[in-house]
Amino acid sequence: MTDATLETIDGRPALRFERTLPHPVERVWRAVSVPAELERWMPATVGWTPAKGETFESYGATLEVTEAAAPHRLAWTYAGQPHGFELTAQEGGCRLVFTHVLDDRASSAQTATGWHAYLSRLDRHLAGGYLSEEEAHQGWAETHERYAERFGVDPAPGRRFAESLRAGRQ
């Protein structure tokens, strides 16, 4: 799996993941837009259509669908942070680009590590399998350290976050 890059969109830090998937665009669209499929790999799901203008409350923040152009583009904001999938047909499958615009660069390694794990779950789901959250997060520490170094950010907040999760499971 390829790593995320850290870019700038509208003056804000943005994570960008790009994957080449051996599945048709329509299949990948269903995986990123249909609630029953999202629940197999996404960290939190909503019962959306999805349609532009739909809003939901989730974990104390608002999610608003800002674009839904099946089967190529799905975008939303969550807690003021834009997210989006762009799907493009290519020979042998689909090119998926996922972006997440952040509020601050300091959280980039931690957030990239989380999306890295969830996109690995998407890969497995599209292949007809299932990868649990626990399995997907194995290696979290190593992945996080790699992103922190690559992005030039302090790894301590992500380390504390991971430790708090481990403590909560015990």
Collapsing DSSP to helix, strand or coil, 54 comes out as coil
- Give the model confidence (pLDDT) of 99-122 as tens digits: 999 999 999 999 999 999 999 999
**Any residues with CB less than 8 A from the CB of 135 and at least 6 apart, and which?**
none
pLDDT tens digits for range 108-167: 999 999 999 999 999 999 999 999 988 998 999 999 999 999 999 999 999 998 888 777
DSSP 77-128: EETTEEEEEEEEEETTEEEEEEEEE-S-GGGHHHHHHHHHHHHHHHHHHHTT
Domain with 83, as residue range(s), is: 5-169
Count of structural domains, the chain: 1
Q: pLDDT grade, residue 168 (50/70/90)?
A: low
Nearest-angstrom CA–CA distance, 53 and 32: 18
Instruction: For residue 60, give the CATH number of its domain.
Output: 3.30.530.20
pLDDT at 161: 84
pLDDT of residue 46: 80
Q: Which of 111, 89, 114, 93 is nearest to 102 (CA)?
A: 111
Q: Find where tokens 């999202």 sit.
A: 38
Q: Which uninterrupted H or E stretch holds 31?
A: helix 25-33
Q: Tell me the two tokens of residue 70.
A: 């099946």
- The gap from C-alpha 51 to its chain's centroid, in whole angstroms, comes to 19
Question: pLDDT-based confidence at 38, cuts 50/70/90?
Answer: very high
Q: Which pLDDT score is estimated for 59?
A: 83
